[in-house]
Amino acid sequence: MVEFALILPIFLVLLAAAVDLGRMFYAYVAVENATKEGALYGAQNPQCAATTALCPNPQNVTWRVQNETGAAALPGGIQVGSIQCRAPDGSNRSLITCVDGDTYVVNASHEFRLITPILSGIFDTGLTLSSQSQARVLNEAFDPTPGAALLKYVCAGDGCSNFVQTPTMGDNNKPVYFEATARQTLRYRLSVTNIGGQALTGLTITDSVVLPLGTGACAALPATLARNATWTCVYSRTAPNPAVGQPFLLLSNSATFDAVEINAVPQIATVKVLPAPAELTVTKDVSPFKLGSDGDGVPRFGDSSTLRVYHPATGDPSVWFYLTVTNTGGVAATGVTIADSLGTDGSGTLPVNADCPAIPGTLNPNATWECLYQRTFAAGAAGAYVNVVTGHASNAPDDSATVTVTVNPSTDCAPTGKVVPNLIGLTRTDAEGAWTAAGFALANLNRWNGGGSNASDPVVTQSKLAYSCLATSGAMKITRTTTP
């Protein structure tokens, strides 16, 4: 019993070592067989070193090595190393140029771990079993069949680079779309790769938008596309707003690539565009005329956000403010309020009338609220009047606009100049009287702009702003209703 107890540990170690050596021999044979299988398959299909569109599993060397009988059962599997094509002179070729008569070389390895206690302590990290197999190439490296792969990816935001495919398929086998917000910049990356065995010629590509070919990151289409070569185009467009009341918009952007050697290849990227949040845009203009511009409101109301007026010899200057608040977002703005620091009487209160309706509590997407009101500056009211108007909504950031009216006394225009009167709406006789009463010569009033027979027709435009300072010898042109 004593002798048996002494010899048993040694016997068990020897037995375990024998088992380990057997396991290691089995693993080495599996690695060697795997590289041989890979080399034999590669010699017949040199192009198919790894999984590609032309070489799907199991039609490639990597898959054949890793799934050879016995190799797939090894713990940790087999690691495929370098796969080479050697010319008869011993130099390496690229796999795509591998031809009949070359040597196809496949390397693989397996990390083998011992279970014998003493040996596993010595070889703590295990042993690397490597094998290399060679075979003479029997076929040329490429399949002459032409082919092209067209891909279209998208990302959101200026300068974004995390391009993704859209849609993808979810767990419930339903499409999952990449989401963006209206008015965001969408960047598309369009690429074409020649995956066939011959060059492509006569290249054409169409897209849902006009591609900026040859500019920025969108290369011009080459005359030919060589095997394995890729053409890439990156361009941007702005995501539109869904229709009012629509929860989202599926924005599809399609592309089609064609060449002489292949049939047309289509691709599509669809983005789920969500409405932009509510956003208020506030504008305010000022003019001495109710319709702005030169009196008729064409092309639009205001000339500027600043205005300088002078007190005329008689009366007080009046100016008109044109205020707009627009919801440029994609959902309704709620809890809308508008604060105007000037108003009609300096208190900041806006009037409510036909020209300035009550402020709406809700402003729908693309809707605009307009307010037109007049402010008169009494004698002695000289100085700069800064008007700040702010639009507010409970679900949108504030926006504001500033208008400044500088009021000067008539003495600042004298003695070399006079204050231009407001003739808009006056008849011919009244307009002439107001012009001369302001101190200007009647001969310097270009009346009616070349004609007109009805003296009661009102003035609709004047070439000088009312309440501006004009040299005493200065001239002004006016037109009335009947004048083209």
- 400 with 430, same domain: the answer is no
Query: Residue 305 belongs to what domain range?
Result: 278-406
Identity of the residue numbered 158: D
Helix and strand numbers, DSSP H then E, in the chain: 4, 29
- 473 with 360, same domain: the answer is no
Examine residue 236 and state whether it is found in any structural domain, yes or no: yes
Whether residue 401 is predicted with pLDDT greater than 90 in this model: the reply is: yes
Q: How far apart are alpha carbons 333 and 308 in whole angstroms?
A: 35
- 153 with 261, same domain: the answer is yes
Radius of gyration, CA atoms only, the chain: 42
- 370 with 448, same domain: the answer is no
Encode pLDDT of 233-279 as tens digits: 999 999 998 887 788 999 999 999 999 999 999 999 999 999 999 99
pLDDT of residue 484: 42
- 110 with 231, same domain: the answer is no
- 451 with 438, same domain: the answer is yes
- 285 with 394, same domain: the answer is yes
CATH label of the domain that carries residue 434: 3.30.10.20
Query: 262 vs 19, 190, 221, 251, CA distance in Å?
Result: 58, 18, 16, 28
Total domains in the chain come to 4
Q: How far apart are alpha carbons 295 and 460 in whole angstroms?
A: 6
- 384 with 424, same domain: the answer is no
What confidence category does residue 410 fall into, taking pLDDT thresholds of 50, 70 and 90?
confident
Examine residue 381 and state whether it is found in any structural domain, yes or no: yes
Query: Could you tell me what percent of the chain has a pLDDT over 70?
Result: 90
- Identify the sign of the CA torsion 337, 343, 348, 352: negative
User: What is the mean pLDDT of the segment spanning 30-43?
Assistant: 92
Examine residue 211 and state whether it is found in any structural domain, yes or no: yes
pTM of the model: 0.58
Beta strands in 293-452 (DSSP E): 306-310, 318-327, 333-334, 337-340, 362-363, 368-376, 383-393, 396-408, 417-419, 445-446
The answer to whether the CB of 422 falls within 8 A of the CB of 479 is no
Answer with the residue of higher pLDDT: 193 or 55. Answer: 193
User: What is the mean pLDDT of the segment spanning 318-340?
Assistant: 92
User: What is the mean pLDDT of the segment spanning 11-19?
Assistant: 65
Examine residue 142 and state whether it is found in any structural domain, yes or no: no
Examine residue 19 and state whether it is found in any structural domain, yes or no: yes
Angle (CA) 409-414-420 rounded to 5° is 75
pLDDT of residue 100: 85
Examine residue 225 and state whether it is found in any structural domain, yes or no: yes
Q: At which of 240, 274, 308 does a domain end?
A: 274
Encode pLDDT of 369-394 as tens digits: 999 999 888 877 788 888 899 999 99
Q: Is 343 left (phi over 0), alpha (psi -120 to 50) or beta?
A: left
Q: How far apart are alpha carbons 250 and 253 in whole angstroms?
A: 10
CATH label of the domain that carries residue 368: 2.60.40.10
Whether residue 149 is predicted with pLDDT greater than 60 in this model: the reply is: yes
Q: At which of 255, 274, 293 does a domain end?
A: 274
What confidence category does residue 143 fall into, taking pLDDT thresholds of 50, 70 and 90?
low
User: What is the mean pLDDT of the segment spanning 135-164?
Assistant: 85
Burial letters 65-87, b for 16+ CB under 10 A, else e: bbebeebeebeeebebbebbbbe
- 79 with 49, same domain: the answer is yes
Encode pLDDT of 84-129 as tens digits: 999 999 999 888 778 888 999 999 999 887 776 555 555 565 788 8
* 5-9, 92-96, 311-315: range with lowest mean pLDDT: 5-9
Examine residue 169 and state whether it is found in any structural domain, yes or no: yes
Q: What is 310-342 written as a DSSP string? A: E--SSS--EEEEEEEEEE-SSS-EES-EEEESS
Encode pLDDT of 53-95 as tens digits: 778 888 899 999 999 878 778 888 899 999 999 999 999 988 8
Q: At which of 106, 136, 166 does a domain end?
A: 136
Encode pLDDT of 436-484 as tens digits: 999 999 999 887 654 455 667 788 889 899 999 999 999 999 887 754 4
Examine residue 143 and state whether it is found in any structural domain, yes or no: no
User: What is the mean pLDDT of the segment spanning 2-12?
Assistant: 72
Whether residue 357 is predicted with pLDDT greater than 50 in this model: the reply is: yes
User: What is the mean pLDDT of the segment spanning 147-168?
Assistant: 93
User: What is the mean pLDDT of the segment spanning 198-226?
Assistant: 94
- 185 with 131, same domain: the answer is no
- 284 with 269, same domain: the answer is no
Q: What is 209-230 written as a DSSP string? A: S---TTBTTBPPPPSEE-TT-E
Whether residue 334 is predicted with pLDDT greater than 60 in this model: the reply is: yes
Q: Which two tokens stand for residue 31?
A: 């690695």
Q: Which residue shows structure tokens 């679900």?
A: 395
Q: What is the mean pLDDT of the chain?
A: 87
Length of the chain: 484
116 CA to centre of own chain: 62
What confidence category does residue 35 fall into, taking pLDDT thresholds of 50, 70 and 90?
very high
pLDDT of residue 483: 44
Q: How far apart are alpha carbons 198 and 145 in whole angstroms?
A: 7
pLDDT of residue 465: 92
What confidence category does residue 12 fall into, taking pLDDT thresholds of 50, 70 and 90?
low
- 258 with 288, same domain: the answer is no
pLDDT of residue 138: 79
